[in-house]
């Protein structure tokens, strides 16, 4: 039996523990805060960060402006730095290489924003349809929301939030050398080989339930994310069609108005021109409103669905890492029973080391899973509230746009000459 082989204590873990006992670095390290006479305070971010509106783009490179300040600085000293997406990639590389403790759940870095012409064309075909000739505009505000959420997750983490690399990233004017980080051949081969152990049943009920949760919730959130993107992309295509219709109507007005002569027997009179011009303006207003609504939807609920669809990959990797350590521990237990007398001492040492690594990973993973679920629920509630507020404001704006358009149309004369 796997439980007997691993000799793991049957510890009841409640995912609804208080915030005070979860967000401390000591509890994350596996140390109990109950032995301390004074309760340890929850970990608080050492910095507050936000993205400024100043975003520049040059030669396919987007530069963001970050503003941060220390949480404990009463003087309010702020730091303003400029960073590219490659700087965020290198930050992630530094954090993951300097904190290799098995059991940590790494917050996922958002995908690279579309900056080059090729990337914009690919994104446009995905959102507007494969046959669309139009290109989506820059979505710097959405990119800032994604990257700011990523930094907030790092700052709230009791391990990554204390890392000196994160502090340097936020306060140093000059960024670290921009090095392209790639996985090597041996890392990819090792990951492929280790993935064969993923389906092994866990010896502890808590982690087995988490594996099942990741499988079911991962499929559900991927489906929800795809459906949400389909709805938003459909609205974007509708906005694009409204823009084409408004442009075509404006061009038709410009080519026909005033062309009264023997070669053009039919012309539009001024009243019909004003009426059609009002229709074109109304279509443009609806197009711009729809585009803003799409951006708001992606910046609220869309950010959560995309973030946690990627976040589950980190959770899955943490659970797989623990499974690999569990299998190593089981193998060391079997080796002790089968070892020859002269090799038994070495086998016992290997078993003790494997047991220590497995229990350390388990303790850390328990705390990380608690934090993940708590942050997931908190972030979902926050983004749903923002999404509802955005939808309400968008509906009111749509009513105002339609009302202005109808009033403009009602003010036009109705004696437009027919062909």
pLDDT one-digit tens code per residue, 281-291: 888 888 888 88
CATH number at residue 152: 3.30.1520.10
Residues 226 and 366 in one domain: yes
Instruction: Give me the pLDDT at residue 82, please.
Output: 93
> Residue 124 domain-assigned?
yes
Contact 9, 30 (CB under 8 A): no
> Residue 201 domain-assigned?
no
> Residue 19 domain-assigned?
no
Task: State the average pLDDT for the chain.
Answer: 79
Of residues 279 and 215, which shows the higher confidence score?
Answer: 215
Both tokens of 247, joined, read 């442009």
Instruction: Give me the pLDDT at residue 24, please.
Output: 37
- Element holding 79 (H helix, E strand): strand 78-84
CB hemisphere CA count around 75 (13 angstroms): 3
Residues 219 and 366 in one domain: yes
Residues 176 and 222 in one domain: no
CB atoms within 10 A of CB 316: 17
Binned at pLDDT 50, 70 and 90, residue 218 comes out as very high
> Residue 274 domain-assigned?
yes
Residues 92 and 144 in one domain: yes
Residues 153 and 224 in one domain: no
Residues 139 and 247 in one domain: no
Residue 30, pLDDT above cutoff 50? no
Q: Characterize the bridge pairing of strands 78-84 and 47-58.
A: unpaired
> Residue 171 domain-assigned?
yes
Residues 162 and 220 in one domain: no
Q: What is the pTM of this model?
A: 0.78
Residues 58 and 109 in one domain: yes
> Residue 346 domain-assigned?
yes
Residues 222 and 346 in one domain: yes
Number of domains in the chain: 2
DSSP at 73: -
Q: What angle do the packed helices 301-338 and 270-299 form, to 10 degrees?
A: 20
pLDDT one-digit tens code per residue, 381-409: 999 999 999 999 988 988 888 888 888 77
What is the greatest pairwise CA distance in the chain? 113
Residues 174 and 219 in one domain: no
pLDDT one-digit tens code per residue, 175-210: 887 766 665 444 444 454 455 555 677 778 888 899
CATH number at residue 343: 1.20.1270.60
Residues 391 and 304 in one domain: yes
Long-range contacts (CB closer than 8 Å, 24 or more residues apart) made by 11-20: 13/206, 13/366, 13/370, 15/369, 15/370, 15/373, 15/374, 17/370, 19/374
Instruction: Look up the domain containing 94 and give its range.
Output: 41-180
> Residue 35 domain-assigned?
no
Residues 70 and 168 in one domain: yes
Of residues 29 and 53, which shows the higher confidence score?
Answer: 53
> Residue 14 domain-assigned?
no
Q: At 75, give phi and psi (nearest 5°).
A: -75, -15
């Amino acid at each position: 039996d796997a439980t007997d082989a691993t000799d793991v204590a049957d510890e009841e873990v409640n995912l609804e523990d208080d915030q005070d006992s979860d967000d401390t670095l000591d509890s994350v390290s596996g140390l109990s805060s109950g032995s301390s006479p004074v309760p340890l305070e929850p970990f608080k971010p050492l910095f507050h960060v936000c993205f400024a509106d100043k975003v520049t783009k040059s030669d396919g490179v987007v530069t963001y402006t970050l503003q941060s300040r220390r949480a404990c600085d009463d003087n309010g000293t702020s730091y303003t730095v400029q960073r590219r997406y490659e700087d965020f990639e290198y930050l992630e590389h530094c954090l993951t290489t300097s904190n290799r403790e098995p059991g940590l759940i790494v917050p996922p870095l958002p995908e690279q924003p579309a900056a080059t012409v090729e990337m914009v064309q690919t994104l446009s075909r995905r959102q507007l349809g494969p046959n669309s000739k139009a290109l989506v505009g820059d979505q710097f505000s959405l990119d800032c929301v994604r990257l700011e959420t990523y930094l907030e997750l790092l700052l709230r983490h009791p391990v990554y939030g204390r890392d000196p690399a994160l502090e340097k990233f936020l306060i140093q004017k000059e960024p670290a050398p921009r090095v392209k980080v790639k996985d090597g051949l041996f890392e990819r081969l090792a990951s492929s080989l280790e993935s064969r152990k993923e389906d092994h049943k866990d010896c502890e009920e808590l982690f087995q339930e988490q594996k099942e949760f990741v499988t079911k919730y991962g499929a559900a959130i991927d489906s929800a994310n795809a459906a949400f993107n389909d709805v938003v992309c459909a609205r974007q295509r509708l906005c694009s069609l409204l823009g084409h219709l408004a442009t075509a109507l404006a061009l038709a007005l410009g080519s026909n108005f005033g062309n009264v002569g023997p070669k053009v027997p039919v012309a539009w009179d001024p009243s019909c021109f004003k009426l059609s011009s009002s229709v074109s303006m109304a279509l443009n207003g609806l197009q711009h409103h729809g585009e803003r609504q799409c951006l708001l939807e992606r910046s609220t609920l869309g950010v959560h669905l995309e973030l946690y669809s990627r976040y589950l990959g980190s959770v899955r990797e943490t659970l797989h890492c623990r499974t690999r350590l569990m299998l190593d521990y089981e193998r060391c237990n079997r080796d002790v029973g089968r070892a020859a007398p002269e090799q038994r001492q070495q086998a016992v040492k290997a078993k003790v080391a494997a047991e220590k690594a497995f229990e350390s990973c388990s303790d850390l993973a328990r705390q990380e899973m608690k934090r993940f679920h708590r942050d997931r629920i908190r972030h979902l509630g926050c983004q749903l509230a923002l999404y509802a507020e955005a939808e309400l404001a968008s509906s009111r704006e749509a009513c105002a746009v339609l009302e202005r358009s109808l009033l403009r149309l009602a003010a036009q004369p109705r004696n437009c000459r027919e062909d």
